[in-house]
Structure 1
Amino acid sequence: MKPSASTPEIAAPCSELATAVRVARTLLADYGDATGYDLFQYAQAHGGLSEALRILLQALDAEPVSTIVDTPRCPAAHPEDPTPCNGPVVVTVLDSSNAGADGCEHHAVRLLASLTGGRPVPKPDAPAGLAVRLFRAAHSTRPFPWREGL
């Protein structure tokens, strides 16, 4: 996205704010229109845009004050899914076009249940039989289970 006449360029030297604005502009250009995205692209876009906002707020010294400590979640966790990870990243969930997201067991099951043609690929240090266990659990899990209360 090129700056318009109403969007002034950030002057050198490169400050934290200038970096944050540059990152935000780049991510907005890349992910601003999520029309037609699949689940992986949506999660990637959400993560990129939220990180850009975090950097901007940090540069402006305006980070939100929270009493809840935000624990990073695995990449397989859908942005709308409020549940925490239940352990380390042990599997990569691949979709039908071989795009993948690493995940804990809990989010891998939920992602597999929400995909058509998805499959789990265990990490080298994963417990034996993990892929079969996740695949079976996903079979008995409703797609997009975080939406059940809506």
Structure 2
Amino acid sequence: MIHTSIHSVDNPAELTAAIGLAQRMLTDYGTVDGDIYAYCQAHGALTETLRIMLRALGAEPVAEQPAAAPRCPAAHHDDPTPCDGPPVVTVLDADNAGADGCEHHGARILASLAEGRVYALPDAPEGAAIRVFKNADTTRPFCWYDGPRTDPSQLSRAENRRRGEDR
């Protein structure tokens, strides 16, 4: 563990600003309660706070890692797949919490929600919401997790219909 005082850093003003930002981020985003959009905001805020703090301490990474392609807010943090384009839909859960997403992640997150809904964004290509809805029907919930899937809650809606079970 590194111990330092505010007076032994490269830029005390930057560290003071980073500490204030970190405190505000904890207040604003300390809990996200399953809200996908709030989770994405919290992750971005945390990343930027750490970047500012490391810069102020003179402890930036030696070699910058190539920036990963930004992912849409609908991409689950455990889903390793890249976006297939810009956000074109909004996916809402039963409580109307939602996230904008590309067609790929929109379908994957919709498949993982009970009572989820999808709406096209104003500039979306024609049929985007319909494609997401149809793809979600054949996508298993939380499809990025490995393991056997036999319980109806682990199968796609289409698989459950074929088996005569509703989810």
The two structures share one fold, judged by TM-score above 0.5: yes
Contact map agreement 1:31 1:49 (CA 8 A) in 2: no
- State, as a whole percentage, how many aligned pairs show the same letter: 55
1:5 corresponds in structure 2 to none
5+ residue gaps, structure 1, are: 1-7
Larger-gyration structure (1/2) = 2
2:49 corresponds in structure 1 to 52
Distance in 1 (CA, whole Å) between partners of 2:104 and 2:17 is 36
- Which of 72, 75, 80 is the aligned partner of 2:73? 75
SS in 2 for 1:136: helix
Aligned 1:1-150 pairs, distance under 5 A: 15-33=13-31, 37-40=33-36, 41-64=38-61, 65-148=63-146
Moved more, 64-73 or 111-120: 64-73
Give the structure-2-normalised TM-score: 0.69
- Superposed CA RMSD: 2.7
Give aligned pairs, total.
138
Q: Taking structure 1 as reference, are residues 78 and 55 closer, same or farther at Cα in structure 2, changes over 3 Å only?
A: farther
AA of the residue aligned to 2:78: E
SS in 1 for 2:133: helix
Give the structure-1-normalised TM-score: 0.75
Spell out, residue by residue over 1:45-83, the C-alpha distance to the aligned partner (whole angstroms, 9 max, x if none): 333323322332233343333443322211111222222
Contact map agreement 2:120 2:129 (CA 8 A) in 1: yes
